[in-house]
Structure 1
């Protein structure tokens, strides 16, 4: 009822403004979404999107690409604002609030973690994201409120077992491996187009023998120098140099070359010192050896365990949040006008 009264009051204010001001002087606020009975104004959306728009302007050249990126920022930011409006309405119904002391404590903790005073923290936020102190305070208040509502919703229902933690550890290692540089070597046996079945069978037999000898501990570099048909790397024992996984930041930014997907898939399954199966390609046969891989930052399971528990808790809360918000959306009138 209070929300409906707020909308009526907003309408009366606008009507009074229209009656008192010349038509050419009137600026009517555009509503970009209505959540329940609460409007989200275009000016609010622009203020919230401002830090992200600055990032777009810094990294994307002016033109159609920048316009598309800015449009996406507005859509993403509006989605976040709708979610937060739903959370605020749910908090009001549940009687959950955030006190000024809680906001101040949060800022003291953030500043201490960065070795700053709160005043320095506000100045840095202003310089980095163009956020005013009040905008920063509003954002932290929203985050605290969201945290309280999630804890209220899932309190007592989060159960993490040792198997869960181990599974998260293994998944994290697999994901990390896709970002770690590695150094492979190869032996390439060419198959001349039009070769007879007998000649192809001989090459395959040789490749199988070389794979077996390399796996038995014979010097891979010496085998590459003696048998490889790939002249660019034969003299260096098949060494391909340091490579980055396809899709990693190093590869995407052009800092490191990547292997072809078929070869990378084979290397990803290897530990340093191991040799792949024979890989057949259009023009020949390839055997790969992983010489080295950038060390993992996770030294042992026990050392990584606290981080894995935190990751699991965050994952559980994120899933609970999404489910909760989806339920709220089903029960709430939404009118998006962007």
Structure 2
């Protein structure tokens, strides 16, 4: 309760105000100490910005003077690195690291194709990382060009398609190996991934995947019509074999289909367990057919399923790499047809 000035009548105040006015009966020094050291005071209860109030709230409220720069001195301004510019620089650095050596070699080979240089390209690979080419010399053959998306070659680009046609027409490789991406045609895509994708995204990916298969098939037919050899490889369970254009081309006269198990060519998991991976090759090389028609699974141990990961490796990507024994079988089969 408070008493008004000059009167003894009591002035009624709300009950919640009485607690806020308790500091009026507290010594001034105690108020200063409480304001200075009280934790997390709301801004609404802070004193006004007077000289007296500034001293009460502590030194942090008093503005500090900036050091003056004397004549002849240069001020050093420290700037923090811009995170966005750092990301752009990193991205541009990644773009600069794209390997285009395969494309450069292809164009260089075309410019030197007149004369004996064409003999250096008996083996050629489309939609494939260097697999047969590095080991061609072991079978007495030569090869330099392996075109793949990782090395800057896009089979869907009209300019790159024209490059492939010129390579086949001018360099005339004796054997062409084609293994376009089969990811979209994998049963696992239909089982797990399609349900997470939108319909437009599925159509876009299907168009790209089918386009790469058809481009590879056209390259194989160009080889066949020119009297040279080819091989087209995809897993036997891949739905790409159901594409109408491929199904018709497989029935072309003078071509063959051979099925085999890659566990018979030493395909194993990172821990050494055999992986079957039933595979199909469409080819016009009798030597290739002879090498693989006997590679049928006779394993008595359990195979490792091509699912998940092992020792940090995705097994689906792990199985995309041809075992060295499979590469040797391909080269040995072709060498029987090329070399008399």
Q: TM-score when scaled to structure 1? A: 0.21
1 or 2, which has the higher helix percentage? Answer: 1
Q: TM-score when scaled to structure 2? A: 0.21
